[in-house]
């Protein structure tokens, strides 16, 4: 027996130790972790002035800055989420915002601003640079956009709302922790107390993804939640979008461009208008940029305007940037001083010559000039609106590489957006083809009315075609008016056939070493284009250019205008 007792004691001790070890493992397995997450790492705080942004219910890649107790967004973030109408003048270090009737301007680094020339003050620096990046105070952005934000520290982060949709909420039933992931071993993000409200983001079997009132997004156990319900937050409506009043007409527009290369061209108005029917707007090519300071050559004529008015025509003078590469459009438009100088002189000319409108025809705008161009249109619209001057803007048929023309914004601030519904194939094209096939024309209209109200859209049709010549592997073309194109067909004894794809009469021939192709613009092709324009209910038609047409075209256009 004496020998058995030690053995029993040893066995009991082994069992006890095993039980203790097993119990410890059970405790470890089922006990809640007390480890706390590194919150700066969780929010991705990148410095003492860095402020991660929670937009709605998720953290976005953009961050704000906190300087002198003021939150700032970089300009790209402002454009993406709040309002893309803020304009940075990098040359003169200005922040500009164009209202319908005034320009808001502040120097970067200042707490003062002007609104239409009247001085105002803010109790913070409105805009400032960090390196080359412009930041705008969130409170200033709020003056021009509806959103709310709350700033939190330790660590820095901010909650931003731009939408106030219906959401699920619940109440914390008992003091607990919000964890990084669903599970008792996950690190603690923050503590929540009984009675706290949380937004319910996703329900699972035993855990729920929630967002706390101070914008921590994590998980709590389902048993810690009660009183789940649906609520709709009260939206922020401090900012009211102003109306950019339009000076559109209550009738269809029929605009004919009158190409004038010198003063003598003004004397041709009567002859040019003689064969036309139902034209109600003449657009002489009078103004052309000539220096990087915003100067332009003017061929304006008071006699021309008077004569046009006597004919019942409105005069919308054209300003273009066709200068053979001698003028840098970016340089003209990017600086506020040069941009304003150009606008002031344009308006002065319009008032001096009693113009009814200004037609902006800036082409081949580089990507970097896109924002300055749109800002130019915004700012030009202000005095045009004040003086009742129609502002129309010419655009290529929408393609991916012309998105920077921002037709949507043009459609808000300008009176008419004109589609130049031609040059599908042009002088530098790699292959021969139509100047304006019907699919090309319809796509241009459809894509534009998707961004611009139809009553502001004018589609321009070509009064010209291209005669394509292939010699060996060398392709060339020349643009000719309708009459010369038909003469070429007759001279070369070409029989044309209707091309159902292009909706144009097509002809071809071999003459010596040259192979010729022609897609004609004529009464038939123009008629189909006008039918498409009817389909979309747009504001009217424009023609490039007066004098290139044949007389029968006007009967077709007259039918469109009278429908």
Nearest partner of 314 among 259, 267, 253, 264, judged by Cα: 253
> Could you read off the pLDDT of 514-528 as tens digits, one per residue?
999 999 999 999 999
d(CA 336, CA 341): 8
Q: Which residues of 265-292 are buried (b: 16+ CB within 10 A; e: fewer)?
A: bbeebeebbeebeebbbbbbbbbbbeee
Q: Mean pLDDT over residues 314-331, rounded? A: 93
d(CA 363, CA 194): 64
> Could you read off the pLDDT of 218-243 as tens digits, one per residue?
999 999 999 999 999 999 999 999 99
**Looking at the structure, do residues 289 and 310 belong to the same domain, yes or no?**
yes
> Could you read off the pLDDT of 117-155 as tens digits, one per residue?
999 999 999 999 999 999 999 999 999 999 999 999 999
Q: Mean pLDDT over residues 70-78, rounded? A: 98
The answer to whether 137 touches 72, Cβ cutoff 8 Å, is yes
**Looking at the structure, do residues 327 and 424 belong to the same domain, yes or no?**
yes
Confidence grade of residue 6 (pLDDT, cut at 50, 70, 90): low
Confidence grade of residue 323 (pLDDT, cut at 50, 70, 90): confident
Q: Give the DSSP H/E element, type plus range, for residue 272.
A: helix 269-273
Nearest partner of 81 among 89, 73, 72, judged by Cα: 73
**Looking at the structure, do residues 344 and 447 belong to the same domain, yes or no?**
yes
Nearest partner of 431 among 514, 512, 517, judged by Cα: 517
Rounded to 5°, angle at Cα 218 from 56 and 138: 30
CATH number at residue 80: 3.30.457.10
The confidence score (pLDDT) of residue 12 equals: 58
Residue 453 gets which letter from DSSP? -
How many domains in the chain? Answer: 3
What are the structure tokens assigned to 553, written together? Answer: 């075209």
d(CA 325, CA 319): 16
Please say if the pLDDT value at position 368 is more than 80. Answer: yes
Can you count the helices (H) and strands (E) in the chain?
14, 34
Q: Give the DSSP H/E element, type plus range, for residue 560.
A: helix 553-562
What are the structure tokens assigned to 66, written together? Answer: 């906190």
> Could you read off the pLDDT of 44-65 as tens digits, one per residue?
999 999 999 999 999 999 999 9
**Looking at the structure, do residues 71 and 107 belong to the same domain, yes or no?**
yes
CATH number at residue 344: 3.20.20.80
Nearest partner of 33 among 182, 187, 151, 160, judged by Cα: 187
In a domain, 353, yes or no: yes
Q: Mean pLDDT over residues 249-277, rounded? A: 98
Please say if the pLDDT value at position 355 is more than 80. Answer: yes
Please say if the pLDDT value at position 249 is more than 90. Answer: yes
The confidence score (pLDDT) of residue 325 equals: 76
In a domain, 480, yes or no: no
The answer to whether 242 touches 192, Cβ cutoff 8 Å, is no
Confidence grade of residue 464 (pLDDT, cut at 50, 70, 90): very high
Tokens 């700032």 locate to: 72
The answer to whether 360 touches 394, Cβ cutoff 8 Å, is yes
pLDDT more than 70, % of the chain: 95
The confidence score (pLDDT) of residue 457 equals: 98
The answer to whether 242 touches 100, Cβ cutoff 8 Å, is yes
Q: Mean pLDDT over residues 403-431, rounded? A: 97
**Looking at the structure, do residues 415 and 352 belong to the same domain, yes or no?**
yes
In a domain, 369, yes or no: yes
**Looking at the structure, do residues 328 and 424 belong to the same domain, yes or no?**
yes
**Looking at the structure, do residues 219 and 265 belong to the same domain, yes or no?**
no
Residue 262 gets which letter from DSSP? S
In a domain, 512, yes or no: no
Residue 430 gets which letter from DSSP? S
> Could you read off the pLDDT of 85-116 as tens digits, one per residue?
999 999 999 999 999 999 999 999 999 999 99
Q: Is the dihedral of CA 98, 365, 546, 417 positive or negative?
A: negative
In a domain, 17, yes or no: no
Q: Which residues of 177-190 are buried (b: 16+ CB within 10 A; e: fewer)?
A: bbbbebeeebbbbb
d(CA 92, CA 15): 84
Cβ-Cβ contacts under 8 Å for 212 (sequence gap 6 or more): 178, 190, 192, 196, 198, 218
SS3 of residue 264 by DSSP: helix
Q: Strands (DSSP E) along 409-488, which ranges?
A: 416-420, 457-462, 464-471, 474-481
Q: In what order do the strands lie in the sheet with 148-152?
A: 127-130, 133-137, 70-74, 58-67, 50-55, 157-161, 148-152
The answer to whether 258 touches 272, Cβ cutoff 8 Å, is yes
Arithmetic mean of pLDDT over the chain: 95
What are the structure tokens assigned to 515, written together? Answer: 């192979």
Which long-range contacts does 158-162 make (Cβ < 8 Å, 24+ apart)? 158/51, 158/52, 158/53, 158/54, 158/64, 158/71, 158/215, 159/54, 159/214, 159/215, 160/53, 160/54, 160/55, 160/56, 160/81, 161/55, 161/56, 161/233, 161/236, 162/55, 162/56, 162/81, 162/82
The last residue of one of the domains, among 152, 182, 200, is: 152
Q: Mean pLDDT over residues 465-492, rounded? A: 98
In a domain, 398, yes or no: yes
The last residue of one of the domains, among 231, 262, 283, is: 231
| 202 DSSP β-pair partners | 209
**Looking at the structure, do residues 116 and 137 belong to the same domain, yes or no?**
yes
The last residue of one of the domains, among 89, 121, 152, is: 152
> Could you read off the pLDDT of 164-188 as tens digits, one per residue?
999 999 999 999 999 999 999 999 9
**Looking at the structure, do residues 537 and 440 belong to the same domain, yes or no?**
yes
**Looking at the structure, do residues 141 and 179 belong to the same domain, yes or no?**
no
d(CA 23, CA 21): 5
**Looking at the structure, do residues 170 and 266 belong to the same domain, yes or no?**
no
Q: HSE (CB half, 13 Å, CA atoms) of 161? A: 16
SS3 of residue 73 by DSSP: strand
Q: Is the dihedral of CA 538, 540, 543, 549 positive or negative?
A: positive
In a domain, 428, yes or no: yes
Which domain covers residue 190, as residue numbers? 164-231
Query: Which of residues 479 and 1 earns the better pLDDT score?
Result: 479
Q: Mean pLDDT over residues 387-410, rounded? A: 96
In a domain, 537, yes or no: yes
d(CA 114, CA 105): 5
For the chain, the helix, strand and coil percentages under 3-state DSSP, each to the nearest 5: 30, 35, 35
d(CA 379, CA 347): 12
Burial class (CB in 10 A: 0-12, 13-18, 19+), 173: middle
Q: Strands (DSSP E) along 19-132, which ranges?
A: 50-55, 58-67, 70-74, 86-89, 94-98, 103-107, 112-115, 118-121, 127-130
Residue 531 gets which letter from DSSP? H
Confidence grade of residue 326 (pLDDT, cut at 50, 70, 90): confident
Length of the chain measured in residues: 563
Please say if the pLDDT value at position 21 is more than 70. Answer: no
**Looking at the structure, do residues 147 and 199 belong to the same domain, yes or no?**
no
């Amino acid at each position: 027996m004496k020998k058995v007792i030690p053995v029993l004691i040893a066995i009991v001790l082994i069992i006890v130790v095993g039980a203790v070890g097993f119990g410890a493992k059970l405790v470890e397995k089922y006990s809640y972790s007390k480890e706390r997450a590194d919150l700066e790492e969780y929010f991705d705080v990148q410095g003492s002035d860095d402020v991660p942004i929670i937009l709605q219910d998720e953290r976005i890649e953009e961050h704000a800055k906190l300087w002198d107790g003021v939150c700032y967004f970089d300009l790209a973030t402002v454009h993406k989420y709040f309002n893309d109408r803020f304009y940075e003048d990098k040359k003169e270090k200005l922040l500009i915002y164009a209202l319908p009737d005034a320009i808001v301007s502040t120097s970067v680094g200042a707490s003062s601003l002007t609104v239409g020339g009247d001085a105002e003050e803010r109790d913070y620096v409105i805009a400032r640079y960090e390196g080359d990046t412009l930041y705008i105070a969130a409170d200033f952005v709020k003056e021009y956009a509806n959103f709310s934000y709350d700033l939190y520290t330790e660590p820095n982060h901010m909650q931003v709302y731009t939408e106030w949709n219906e959401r699920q909420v619940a109440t914390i039933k008992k003091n607990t922790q919000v964890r990084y992931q669903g599970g008792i071993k996950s690190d603690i993000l923050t503590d929540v107390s009984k009675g706290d409200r949380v937004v319910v983001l996703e329900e699972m079997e035993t855990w729920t993804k929630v967002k706390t009132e101070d914008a921590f997004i994590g998980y709590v156990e389902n048993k810690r939640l009660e009183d789940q319900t649906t609520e709709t937050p009260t939206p922020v409506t401090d900012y009211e979008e102003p109306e950019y009043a339009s000076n559109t007409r209550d009738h269809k527009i029929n605009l004919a461009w009158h190409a004038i290369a010198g003063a003598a061209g003004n004397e041709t108005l009567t002859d040019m208008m003689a064969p036309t029917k139902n034209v109600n707007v003449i657009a002489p090519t009078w103004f052309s940029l000539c220096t990087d300071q915003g100067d332009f050559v003017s061929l304006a004529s008071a006699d021309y305007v008077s004569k046009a008015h006597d004919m019942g025509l409105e005069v919308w003078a054209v300003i273009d940037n066709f200068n053979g590469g001698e003028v840098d459009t970016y340089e003209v438009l990017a600086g506020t001083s040069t941009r304003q100088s150009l606008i002031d002189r344009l308006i002065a000319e319009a008032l001096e010559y009693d113009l009814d409108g200004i037609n902006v025809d800036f082409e081949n705008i580089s990507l970097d000039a896109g924002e300055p161009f749109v800002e130019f249109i915004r700012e030009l619209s202000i005095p045009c609106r004040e003086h009742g001057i129609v502002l129309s803007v010419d655009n290529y048929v929408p393609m991916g590489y012309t998105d920077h023309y921002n037709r949507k914004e043009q459609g808000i601030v300008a009176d008419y957006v004109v589609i130049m519904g031609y040059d599908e194939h042009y002088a530098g094209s790699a292959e021969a083809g139509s100047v304006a096939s019907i699919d090309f024309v319809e796509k241009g209209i459809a894509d534009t009315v998707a961004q611009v109200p139809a009553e502001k859209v004018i589609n321009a049709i070509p009064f010209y075609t291209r005669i394509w010549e292939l010699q060996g592997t060398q392709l060339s073309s020349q643009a000719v008016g309708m009459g010369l194109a038909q003469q070429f067909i007759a001279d070369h004894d070409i029989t044309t056939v209707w091309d159902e794809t292009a909706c144009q009469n097509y002809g071809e021939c071999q003459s010596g070493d040259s192979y010729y192709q022609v897609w004609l613009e004529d009464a038939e092709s123009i008629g189909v284009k006008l039918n498409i324009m009817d389909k979309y209910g747009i504001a009217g038609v424009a023609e490039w250019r007066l004098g290139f047409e044949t007389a029968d075209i006007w009967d077709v256009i007259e039918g469109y205008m009278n429908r």
